[in-house]
A and B are shown apart, each in its own frame.
Chain A
Amino acid sequence: MPPRSVLPVPARFEKCFPRILACPAISGYVFSMPQETVISARHVFKTYGQLKAVNDLEFTVNRSTCCGFLGPNGAGKSTMMKMLYAKASPDKNPATVIDVFGHDPRRHELRIKSMSGVAPQDDNLDEELSVIQNLRVFGRLYGIPRGLTDDRIEELLEFMELSSKKPARIRELSGGMRRRLIIARALMNNPELLILDEPTTGLDPQVRQLIWDKLRGLKNDGVTILLTTHYMEEAFQIADEVIIMDHGRKIMEGNPHTLLETQMEAHVLEVLNKQAAVEIDGALRDIVRREEAAERVLYYSHEHSALEQMAEGMRHGEYYLRRTTLEDLFLRATGRNLHEE
């Protein structure tokens, strides 16, 4: 988050240059703009039969920030995203409030979709069309004037490093290229809001880095980004705020760095095999916390030296001494791993 300045925004400036002020770099450093909430949800429920996919969820998202929904499969992240653009409808409940840029998806689905781009989790590119035709169809769907569509496509293919694949058939693309094309498709209308459902799941590290770079660029451009992920690395890399979810509920939220600093010990000694685990010696008992996850035993501490001391007796390859991550935080909050079903 950029530091807040003390300069008030001149009213006339705000009126004349709203786009400049929407850019966080400028509004944050030059003027003291209050953070503007653009998405808010309260008391959102979604039930599938017996399953409570989303259970009384509440959150807000500020303009031009990236909010990451972190949680294992089935936590309700995708369902919540779908409810924002009316692909899923929330349970009928008078207390439910969903507001996306001033519109309720239950009533103004088209308004929201006109200003948003969505990259769903499933690969739903049109296999019967080529790369450029896929984008042209979306140009039409967004009502982009015909003369502008092809320029926009050129721009986006270049941005997503897909220019050489313009005439290609969809089945000729690799998984990473498909994902990038889906993101390019979501950007056709130059959206205010970008919703990405697991944008890098199953991709190799280089493509993942590339996508993260692009998303950071878009955020600096003023786009508000919502993404779901079960990679803590991803949330850490691009999210300003994370909402950690489990079983349809929010269990924690905040800036990922702040969350780790305030909620977790700095270091963890991860013992990969239960048999190799050791008892915590008397003196260390106050500064080391033990946790178990399946076959692993984890020792958490703010003191690196304490964990080093414990690892002394262990064989090389049996343990792993590292900094704590959001994954550890999730484990502490739920007693489970992020990647467990």
Chain B
Amino acid sequence: MKSSSSRGRHPQPTFLMRIGAVFFRHFRVYSRNLLSNGLPPFLEPLIMLVGIGLGLGAYITKMNGVPYIKFLASGLLVSTAMFTAAFECSFGTFIRLEFDKVYDGMLTAPITVNNLLVGEMLWAGAKGFFFTFAVMVIVVLAGILPIGVVYPVPVIGFLTGVMFAAFSLFITSFVQTINHFNFYFSGFISPMFFFSGVFFPLTNLPGWVRPIAEALPLTHVVRLSRGICLSEADPQLLFDLVYVLLFTLGFGAIAIRRLKRRLID
């Protein structure tokens, strides 16, 4: 066979190239159904804002002194990043791990389990960025928040994506059958959606619920997003940021360790 590249020279791909290859794979899959994958991120927040914002907003005009629609929008900006990352790194990862064996295939190429999973988390982060960006477009076009204020918020979407990717991979490392994810979503993700300050401030919750709500990861990214959207520079936001980073690093590291045992015999 004639060869366009000569045998004997096999440069080892750099770390960025390896992560890039994981991104490339996911981007190909994602962009294959551009319409069905690309439209919902814009439609969902629209429906949410119209449905809840207009309906409920007629009764609640102000929340903590902020117009309800603004309050809600600043929470939805990041909750959508949470959902996409959680799905990607639970059902998505599990299918690639156990059903299609895509990871086993990829691991025959020069990439380590570590690189592969870091790539998964960063990809989920990129999706989080995009989903938050989509909500931002709607929120700005609807005149709810000005672009000059909300433009940095997709970065929080990225952090949200990586954080929930890390946690979802951690969950996935325990899961033996795909149905177990139902517990994760109905038992953890959905309740968190309602008790993390997206729809109402945590200050109104009963005293015993508050520490629980404070421990939830979504709470902290909602606070960061709201801080940006409402231009409130609270020093507590620094604590939220530290929480997000530690949570991500901690669960990410455990997830990689545990999944490595499943991928390497």
**Chain A residues within CB distance 8 Å of chain B:** 18-19, 22, 46, 48, 79, 82, 85-89, 109-111, 113-115, 117-120, 122-129, 133, 136-138, 140-144, 148, 151-152, 155, 159, 185-186, 189-192, 217-218, 221-223
Cβ A19 vs Cβ B8 within 8 A: yes
What residue in chain B is nearest A86 (Cβ atoms)? B264
Given A113-B108, A137-B25, A190-B102 contact (CB < 8 Å): no
B36 within 8 Å of A by Cβ? Answer: no
Chain A residues closer than 8 Å to B5, beta-carbon distance: 144, 148, 152, 189-190
Are A141 and B111 in contact, with the CB atoms below 8 A?
Answer: yes
- The reply to whether B29 and A129 form a contact with Cβ atoms under 8 Å apart is yes
B1, A114: Cβ atoms closer than 8 Å: no
| B2 and A155 contact, CB distance less than 8 A | yes
- Partner of B29 from A124, A128, A140 at Cβ < 8 Å: A128
Q: Is the CB of A190 within 8 A of B6?
A: yes
The stretch among B15-23, B173-181, B233-241 that forms the contact with chain A is B15-23
Q: Chain B: which residue is nearest A123 at the CB level? A: B101
Shortest beta-carbon distance, B20 to chain A, in Å? Answer: 7
Interface assignment of B206: CB less than 8 Å from any CB of chain A:
no
B6-A19 in contact (CB<8A): yes
Instruction: Decide if A126 touches B100 in the complex (CB within 8 Å).
Output: yes
Binding site for A on B (CB under 8 A): 1-8, 10-14, 17-18, 20-21, 24-25, 28-29, 32, 100-102, 104-112, 264-265
Contact indicator A133/B28 (Cβ below 8 Å): yes
Q: A87-B265, A89-B264 are in contact. Are A192 and B105 (CB under 8 A)?
A: no
CB distance from B96 to the nearest CB of A (A): 9
Residue of A nearest to B20 (CB): A140
Of chain A, the residue at the smallest CB distance from B12 is: A114
Asked if A88 contacts B264 (CB within 8 A), the reply is yes
A contact residues around B108 at 8 Å (CB): 85, 87, 113, 117-120, 186
CB-based contact B25/A143 at 8 Å: no
Q: How far does the Cβ of A180 sit from chain B's closest Cβ, in whole Å?
A: 14
In the complex, how many angstroms separate the beta carbon of B147 from the nearest chain A beta carbon? 35
A238 to B28, CA, bound (A): 38
A151 touches B264 (CB 8 A): no
By a CB distance below 8 angstroms, the chain B residues around A86 are: 264
Asked if residues B264 and A111 are in contact (CB atoms below 8 Å), the reply is no
Is B4 within 8 A of A155, CB to CB? yes
Given contacts A141-B109, A148-B4, contact A189 B10 (CB under 8 A): yes
- A200 CA to B109 CA, complexed, in Å: 21
Q: Are B1 and A137 in contact, with the CB atoms below 8 A?
A: no
A190 to B6, CA, bound (A): 7
With A87-B264, A140-B24, A155-B2 as known contacts, state yes or no: A114 contacts B13, CB within 8 Å.
yes
Instruction: Please give the distance in Å from A196's CB to the nearest CB on chain B.
Output: 11
What residues of chain A lie closer than 8 Å to B2, measured between beta carbons? 155
Closest chain-A Cβ to B13's Cβ sits at a distance in Å of 3
User: What's the nearest-Cβ distance from chain B to residue A294, in Å?
Assistant: 32
For the complex formed, measure the closest distance between the CB of A276 and the CB atoms of chain B, giving whole angstroms: 45
10 new A-B contacts, CB < 8 A, other than A124-B104, A186-B108, are: A109-B112, A110-B110, A120-B104, A126-B25, A128-B29, A137-B21, A140-B21, A148-B4, A189-B5, A221-B7
A4–B18 Cα distance when bound, in Å, is 43
Contact of B110 among A19, A114, A190 (CB under 8 A): A114
Given known pairs A137-B28, A140-B17, the reply for A113 and B7 (CB within 8 Å) is no
Chain B residue, CB-CB nearest to A19: B8
Smallest beta-carbon distance B265→chain A, Å = 4
CA distance A164 to B224 in the complex (A): 53
User: Within the assembled complex, what's the spacing in Å between the Cα atoms of A196 and B76?
Assistant: 50
Query: In the complex, which of the residues B7, B13, B100, B265 contacts A141, with contact meaning CB atoms closer than 8 Å?
Result: B13
Complex Cα gap A18–B7 (Å): 11
Report B-chain residues with C-beta under 8 Å of the C-beta of A111.
12
Beyond A128-B100, A192-B7, whether A142 also contacts B13 by CB under 8 A is: yes
- Name the residue in B17, B20, B111, B265 with the highest tally of chain A Cβ atoms < 10 Å from its Cβ: B265
Residue A143 contacts which of B6, B8, B13 (CB distance < 8 angstroms)?
A: B13
Contact B264 A141 (CB under 8 A): no
B13 CB contacts on chain A under 8 angstroms: 110, 114, 141-143
For B32, list chain A residues within 8 Å (CB). Answer: 128-129
> A133 to B105, alpha carbons, bound, how many Å?
14
**Bound-state Cα–Cα, A223 to B101, Å:** 27
Once bound together, how far apart are the Cα atoms of A186 and B109, in whole Å? 8
- Among B3, B24, B107, B264, max chain A CB count under 10 A is at B107
